[in-house]
Structures are given as C-alpha cells and as structure tokens.
Amino acid sequence: MALSEDLLRRLKVIAAQQDSSISAMLTEALHRVADEELGYAEARRSMLADLRKGFPLGTKGKIAWRRESLHERPGVRRH
C-alpha cells in the first residue's frame, strides 16, 4: 500500500514538528493498537473467568420467591 503524496507531505511536517520520523510515529501508533488489543483480550479473559466462577448472591442456591410474586402489585386485582 502506498501513501498519497499529500498524506506523506503532511506526515513529514508533523514528524518534523515532533522532532521524530514517520517511521517512529508509525511504530508508536502500531504499538498503541497492539497494546489496546492486548488489554481488551486480557479484560475479556478476566471477565469470562469471573462469569464461570460466579458471584455469591446471598441466596445459597435457594430461590425463595415465585415468578408471579415479582409481578404482583398491591391493590391491583388480576382476573
């Protein structure tokens, strides 16, 4: 893939302003992309491990309610 002349000219100006090179800027940008992807992958693995382990909800595995009772409204009669 080739860069357009306009883009290359603009990148050279930016690199000069930052006392850098296009190659160094590209390397830094690619490191950022790779680090973000690695961070995402690690966070995903950690979250999936937490989900497999489960979370204590204080019920000790017992359900003390009925589905219907969750939808009841005091003072409203259902037919």
Exposure string of 26-64, with b = 16+ CB inside 10 Å and e = fewer, is: eeeeeeeeeeeeeeeeeeeeeeeeeeeeeeeeeeeeeee
CA distance 75 to 66: 19
Are 23 and 33 in contact, with CB atoms under 8 Å apart?
Answer: no
Task: Please indicate, yes or no, whether the overall pTM of this predicted structure exceeds 0.75.
Answer: no
Residue spans of the domains in the chain: they are 25-55
pLDDT in tens, 13-56: 999 999 999 999 999 999 999 999 999 999 999 999 999 998 88
